[in-house]
Structure formats: C-alpha cells, structure tokens
Amino acid sequence: MKPETNYMESVQAIKQRFEIIGNDPKLNRAVEKAIQVAPTDISVLVTGESGVGKESIPKIIHALSHRKHGKYIAVNCGAIPEGTIDSELFGHEKGSFTGATNTREGYFEVADGGTIFLDEVGELPLTTQVRLLRVLENGEFIKVGSSQVQKTNVRIVAATNVNMFDAIEKGKFREDLFYRLSTVDIMLPPLRERKDDIHLLFRKFASDFAHKYKMPSIKLDDSAVEILLKYRWSGNIRQLRNVAEQISVLETKREISSQTLLSYLPIENPNLPSVIGTKKSESDFSNEREILYKVLFDMKSDLNDLKKLTMELMQNGSSKVQEANKGLIQKIYGKPEENAIFEEEPRVEMLPNQNNLIQEAFEDDDDQNYLFAETVDEEETLSLEAKEIELIKKSLERNKGKRKAAADELGISERTLYRKIKQYDL
C-alpha cells in the first residue's frame, strides 16, 4: 500500500474519532499535519477565522502524543479578565492580592506532563506574554506574589483568529513569542472556501438536532441549498450549526425553502439592491434569486420604517402619530381592516441573530467579492447597538451570568461576548 494511502486512511479515522465532518483538501491537510506533529513536542499555532473548528486540532495532538495520559487544559485567553490571567495561568501565593485567601496552582502547574491549549492567544496581555515566553524557553514560571522559580513540562498548542502580523506591527504581540509559538502553523479554511462541505455539515447538524429534539429531520429544497452555498458564513461552522438548530426547532414544515432559510440568515446591507443592481449584468443570478433579494430588501426597508415609527410612537404618544403616519402604517401593516396592528408581531421581529446584524454578507458569484455592509447610517447603528446590548444583557440574565452558556445561546464565541461586555461596559 502506498504511504499516501495510509495517511489518508489515518486522516479519515481521526476525523471520525473526533467527529470532524468534511472532506475539503485543506481540512484534510490540517488534520494530517496535526497527526504528523503529535508525537513531537513542537509548538503549534492553529490559525483560522472564528468558528472554523480550531479546537479539534489541539485535542488530536494531545490524544496522539506521549502526553495523552497527562492533563489537557483548554484556556480561552480572551475570556479571562486581564487582572486575573497571570494568576489563572501561573497560580498565586496566599495574600498576593486582595481576595487571594489561599495559595493557588495555575494551569501550567496543574498540566505538568500534559498539554495546554491557549485559545485566542493574541488576546494575552504583554506582561503575560513575557511569562509565557519564559515557560516556552526553559519551562520556568513564577507564581504571582512569589519569588520562587518553578519548573513545568507542558506542551503548548495555541490558536488565533486574528492576524498575528498585524498584532506584532501594532506592538500588541511579541514577535519572539510568536515565532516560539508557531514552529508549525496549522491553518483551517473558512467555511465559504469549503463549498463541498457546507451542505454535508448542514445535513449532519440537521440529523443531530432531529435526534436531539425527537422530530423528523429538516431538509433543504434545491433553491435553499443554493442560498446555503452562496452565503458568506462569517461565523463559519458555529453559525451554520446555530442556523440548523434554530430552523430545526422553530419551523413546523420539514422541507425548507430558500425564503425560510433566508429569514434565518442575518441580512443587513441597506445598499444591497444597488450593489446587486451593478452586478446584475455580470452575474448569472436566476430570476428566483433576484426576487429573493428584492424580498429581502423590502423587508429591510420595512424594518427601517418600523424603527422610525416606533421611535416616534415612543416620543410623541400613539394616537397623534398614528394619524400622522397613516400611509406608513398602511404600507407596513396593510389596511386597518386586514389586521390588528398591535395584536400581531411584525414579521421582521422574528429574524434571528439580530446581534450579528451589521457584519454578515452574501457572497457574490465572483469568489473574491462579498457584498459587505459597510455604510450604515448612525441612527441605525445606534439602534442596532441598543438591540445588541439588550440581547446580551437578557442572555446573561437568563444564563445567570454564565458567559459560555450566553455565548452559545447568542451564537457567538466566548471571546466575542467578552469583548462586547467590555465594549459596552456591561
């Protein structure tokens, strides 16, 4: 048997063992590299956008290494507050700061003989980077508040979804540490570059959720599959999984049309029709897709109108505003006799993932061009921010302050949630 056949066999077996779905050549290469470096103690840096599945790589490396009986600790560097990260990683002495009532072992002490996965390593403060460099160079560290040097034998696998060269350029990350961490670089491609895997992953998630929620599996019709493949998936596999779960739970019909799928995909480009308009002659969009974009644009503009109306209602009291906005109310809600305005939720309210409203985009036919939402007027940005803050607050409340659970519920990474908490001072 040829050696490459052997490799492919082990790649397939490892993917099965770690429940990694997909057959993209770049994904296979990443898994293959993980298998190759596992028996060594080489430091590995896993790179790729948020949600591409970076967490599987350090697990593979640990499980196939001589450290497999030692501890494996995954640390999300972006989710730990700057003030406590040194203590978490390296431990502290009793009385070294207010609240340090006992001596505590840090992860580097606990994981002696094992592997530490440093996720979002680019988020480490510079002072922590100095300590980490020392561990990498000679296995030495000092607890916070101590002067005693301790030794540890830990393999480090790090991951990042930020461009480390930018971080180095901006003085946020030490160049020497970067090179120590990235002896081998394992890159995971974004989902939109794994076209053949998108539907496969969706089907797997649909079947998992059907099993979990004890209902028949959802199935996309052809037009929905087309949308699935065209979408940009900025949140990658995490976002795809989230969408599959929401549709599985919320839709009563099991055959999913493109319209239904689209209602679960964040659309937030106020300029969408004009961009599409300019691309129309170059692209091979079918009539159906153009109609769908039109529907989406109409929904978006209805949403904007609704926001304005709601704002006025809140500011001026309802009867005056209803009178003054008869036309608009009719446009959004239909004729008065056809419905009861305030009895029914407007359809746009049902759009999921409103927290991601600004950044998502659809992929254009040209692989390199995506239709980004770059210009959003200030009023809209502010109201989106308010919505985002409200969603985050509610989710944190619901999950009793547990960030991981809240991040999962919101369909964002813990690190992103942590950033937003900091950004909005929540």
User: What is the contact surface with ligand ATP in residues (CB under 6 A)?
Assistant: 19-22, 48, 50-56, 119, 161, 237-238, 241, 413
Half-sphere exposure of 399 (CA within 13 A, CB side): 15
Strand partners, 150: 141
Please report how close the Cβ of residue 24 comes to ligand ATP at its closest, in angstroms.
Answer: 9
Give the integer Cα–Cα distance in Å for 35 and 72: 17
Q: What are phi and psi of 76, to 5 degrees?
A: -90, 100
CA dihedral angle for residue 327, residue 331, residue 336, residue 342, rounded to 10 degrees: -110
The neighbour count for residue 220, using CB atoms within 10 Å, is 22
Nearer to ligand ATP, 244 or 267 (CB): 244
Please report how close the Cβ of residue 353 comes to ligand ATP at its closest, in angstroms.
Answer: 15
Q: Measured at CB, which residue is nearest to ligand ATP?
A: 53
Nearer to ligand ATP, 15 or 143 (CB): 15
CB 270 within 8 A of CB 303: no
Please report how close the Cβ of residue 414 comes to ligand ATP at its closest, in angstroms.
Answer: 7
Strand partners, 104: 92
Q: How far apart are the first and last CA of the chain?
A: 59
328-334 long-range contacts (CB < 8 A, ≥24 apart) are 331/302, 331/305, 332/302, 332/305, 332/306
Nearer to ligand ATP, 51 or 266 (CB): 51
Residues 6+ apart with CB under 8 A from 197: 21, 22, 23, 24, 27, 191
Nearer to ligand ATP, 51 or 114 (CB): 51
Please report how close the Cβ of residue 111 comes to ligand ATP at its closest, in angstroms.
Answer: 19
Please report how close the Cβ of residue 163 comes to ligand ATP at its closest, in angstroms.
Answer: 13
Nearer to ligand ATP, 27 or 261 (CB): 27
Please report how close the Cβ of residue 157 comes to ligand ATP at its closest, in angstroms.
Answer: 12
Please report how close the Cβ of residue 154 comes to ligand ATP at its closest, in angstroms.
Answer: 20
> At 4, is the secondary structure helix, strand, or coil?
helix
Q: At what angle do helices 287-316 and 326-333 cross, to 10 degrees?
A: 140
Give the integer Cα–Cα distance in Å for 347 and 366: 32
